[in-house]
Amino acid sequence: MRNRVLLALFHFLYMGFRMTNSDRRFHHILRPATFALLGVLLASCASGSKVTLPNVVVGETTSQDVSADGLAALNRFRASQGLGPVTIEPRLVELAKFQATAMATRDALTHEVAGDFISRVDAAGFEKSEATENVGATHQSAEAAISSWTRSPYHNENMRLKNAKYMGMARADSPKSRYKTYWALILVTD
């Protein structure tokens, strides 16, 4: 129950909700009250209870390491930008598989579904590294994902991480989910 309340509160805080004109007079009360309730719920979380995203399983999910397939396309792109090549790092492959699987399992295309990105990278032993992550969906191959990301300003910038040395890339398939195929690419400097 608490998880549903937290998700509803986050939705309200970040997305807002549609109000009628008569509701607007209460908005100055509702938002502060929501923050206060959220604070109470988060404090109860700190007391030892664990809050997790609901596990919305949309059917069987499989994941695979596609780093070798994506490496050539990524390094071609990086070379075209005057940047050095990257190599495959097994810990990043596992992080990418974890992220892609979490998105496919929960039918959500987001960086946060498997936890905060920086925390995940730090936990894998890259706490002193610069790191970037691209996520995507529906691409039919690793090369198609890389190609698509080159045309997106933010994804393009991530793949141009100046001193990147290592990468990991994964794909997760979930035939009953909205996007069917989910992708994650992680780059780190050292």
pLDDT, averaged across the chain? 77
Q: What is the mean pLDDT of residues 38-44?
A: 38
- Checking if the pLDDT of 114 tops 90, the result is no
- The pTM of the full predicted model, rounded to 2 decimals, is 0.70
Q: How far apart are CA 167 and CA 147, in angstroms?
A: 16
Residues 6+ apart with CB under 8 A from 66: 142, 169, 170, 171, 183
Place of tokens 């690793």: 142
**DSSP H or E stretch at residue 14:** helix 2-15
- Checking if the pLDDT of 185 tops 90, the result is yes
Express each pLDDT in 59-107 by its tens digit. 688 899 999 999 999 999 999 999 999 999 999 999 999 999 999 998 8
- Checking if the pLDDT of 177 tops 60, the result is yes
Q: How far apart are CA 73 and CA 57, in angstroms?
A: 32
pLDDT at 84: 97
